[in-house]
Amino acid sequence: MSVLLSPSYTSPETVSCTANETQGFAHCLEAVSRYAEAMSKAKKLLHTRYRVDDLERTVRFYRDVLGLEEVRRHQSPRGAELVFLKTPGSEELIELCCFPASGPVRVQPDLTHLAFEVDSLEEFGRHLARLGMNYSDGPHLGADGGGIAFIDAPEGYEIELIQAGRSRSNG
C-alpha cells in the first residue's frame, strides 16, 4: 500500500507512506497525522493590515517619512482600496486599507503600533526635522547605545523606531 499526500498549492513537498502487511495502516496513519499537524500551523507572517481614512496621505507618510516602497495596490471584492508596502530588509508587508463604508477610523491610545529599526535615532530625528516633524516621544537611549523613539502616523497609529545597542548589533 502506498499513500501520497500533496500539501497545498503553496508548498511543493509531498508526504509519502509505504506500508507492508506487518506495519499495516497504522504506520501510514501516523505519517498522515504528523503531516496534518505540521500543515495546521502558520508558516510565517505575510502582512499586517491597518485601516485608514485617507489612503494617499498615509501612503505618502510611509513612503516619504519611513522610506517604505509600494509593491502593489488593488480593490478588494467588497470594495476596499488596498495598498501593500514593504520595508527594505523585511519580507512582511503592511497592508493599508481604505473602506469608507466602515465609518471613520478611531485609533485608541496604545491599541497597536509598528516598530522599525533605524541606524541612528539622532539622524532619523534630523530627517524628521527636514520634513517639519518631531518625535512624539523620545528618543530614550540606553547605556548600550540602543534606544527607542516614537512618531505618530496618520489616523493616530503609533510608530516605534528602534536603534540597536552595541551588544545587539555585534551579535
Domain match, 92 and 49 both: yes
Domain match, 115 and 170 both: yes
Phi and psi dihedrals of 45, rounded to 5? Answer: -80, 130
160 has catalytic annotation: yes
pLDDT band with cut points at 50, 70 and 90 for residue 136: very high
- Of the candidates 88, 105, 122, which is a domain's last residue? 105
Domain match, 114 and 159 both: yes
**pLDDT higher than 80, residue 109:** yes
Domain that holds residue 52: 44-105
Calpha distance 157→106 (Å, rounded): 10
Residue 9 has a pLDDT of 42
Domain match, 66 and 114 both: no
Total tally of structural domains belonging to the chain:
3
157 contacts 150 by C-beta, under 8 angstroms: no
**pLDDT higher than 60, residue 105:** yes
Domain match, 99 and 112 both: no
Residue 8 has a pLDDT of 43
Catalytic residue, candidates 81, 117, 122, 160: 160
- Of the candidates 84, 105, 126, which is a domain's last residue? 105
Residue 37 has a pLDDT of 67
Per residue in 40-82, pLDDT (tens digit) is 788 888 999 999 999 999 999 999 999 999 999 999 999 999 9
The CATH number assigned to the domain holding 148 equals 3.10.180.10
97 contacts 80 by C-beta, under 8 angstroms: yes
What is the pTM assigned to this prediction? 0.73
Per DSSP, what are the bridge partners of residue 85?
A: 70, 94
Give the SS3 label for residue 56.
helix
